[in-house]
Amino acid sequence: MAEAAPGRTVWILAGEASGDVLGARLMAALRRRDPTLRFAGVGGTRMEEAGLRSLFPLRDLAVMGLVEVLPRLRHLSRRLDQAVADIAATRPDLVVTIDSPGFALRLLRRIAELGIPRVHYVAPQVWAWREHRVREFPGLWDRLLCLLPFEPDFFGRHGLDARFVGHPVLQSGVDRGDGAAFRARHGIAPTTPVLILMPGSRRSEAPRLLPVLGRTLRILMATCPGIVPVVPVSPVVADVVRRGVADWPVRPIVVTDLVEKHDAFAAAGAALTKSGTSTLELALAGVPMAVTYRVNPITAALARRLIRVPYVAMVNLLAGHRLVPELLQERCRPGLLAETVHRLLTDGHSAVLQRAGFRAVMAKLAAPEGDPDDAAAAELMAVLDGHSAA
């Protein structure tokens, strides 16, 4: 391995809350390997706490869905121009983009002519829908880092070099929460049911799910008296969530701190969550769940025509069967959601079956060697050192 050049710069982009957490862990793992590294780019609260001065607020990029994105296209285009200009001026030794393919892949394409090594972390889920997009990927990056064990084979069939580095959820600490401490802090009795409600980490998606969750809670209050709702959210959307729950029949505990979130998971008897990484977090914590989601009807209609996988929930895809209920779009109804949650809270057999399935899923996500963030950092350092040696 070439001797580390001092003061090298890594320009890193995270476009949403989950990428911000990944980015902060990755920065720490890279610094363990080379303490002289400097960082620039775009991130959120976690990456800023790790020492990044974000070029612009992460929340400017946290938009999901075709109809939701359209009104903000001009603003997103300006942010893309700003990021390209900053990379051209900074001339970093490596550019790392994390997830957020709508923005990240455009950025990688725009900076290709600069000759800077590029790594994309979190493979675009083209195996799920619009597989033809994979033809656009050659030349976008020097290395692709995957979180899911089946992804390298998929990209390999299309002639793309991809490396499985394990899933960072395994390092999140979400399975080490203290439920008793959470109950004590909030004055919740040991037998009172606690329900986790996760409406999404993007400012454009949380408002769409919060009203139906509030109506679901109103129904549950009759069948599960005293139920305590907890809404873990990223700081990026906390203000949106607090406004959205103001008219709920019972004021939920809104959690933005990671340790508090893990403690809440440990105290919970069930969860209703949108699809995505949150299903893996809940699975690792052993919280029985149902997945629900509602997007703009036009976005939903387009998605149905393009999706090529049998399940939306990541935990179901990895399990290979419907381990947890999926109540999507038209089935995202308060009555059906309340009935499903009540069953999860009261039917011990359902909870046991889910938890057994969760353990099998988690075993598939381990890195080939070491922890996921170290495995990812090792891949990045190999690219960085290889470029420095050249």
DSSP secondary structure string, 183-221?
Answer: HHHHT--TTS-EEEEE--SSTTTHHHHHHHHHHHHHHHH
pLDDT above 60 for 63: no
Q: What is the pLDDT of residue 328?
A: 86
3-state SS assignment for residue 165: coil
Contact 234, 245 (CB under 8 A): no
pLDDT above 50 for 67: no
pLDDT above 60 for 24: yes
pLDDT above 80 for 40: yes
Contact 188, 182 (CB under 8 A): yes
Domain ranges of the chain: 9-166+367-388, 174-365
Q: What is the pLDDT of residue 1?
A: 40
Q: Which fold has domain 174-365?
A: Rossmann fold (3.40.50)
Provide the mean pLDDT of the chain.
90
Q: What is the pLDDT of residue 2?
A: 44
pLDDT bucket at 66, cuts 50 / 70 / 90? very low
Residue scoring higher pLDDT (375 or 276): 375
pLDDT above 50 for 8: yes
Contact 205, 274 (CB under 8 A): yes
pLDDT above 60 for 71: no
Q: Read off the pTM.
A: 0.83
Mean pLDDT of 46-67: 80
Q: Do you know the residue count of the chain?
A: 390
CATH of 9-166+367-388, one of 3.90.550.10, 3.40.50.300, 2.40.33.10, 3.40.50.2000: 3.40.50.2000
pLDDT above 90 for 68: no
Q: Do domains 9-166+367-388 and 174-365 have the same CATH topology?
A: yes
pLDDT above 80 for 295: no
The C-alpha angle 48, 54, 57, rounded to 5 degrees, equals 100
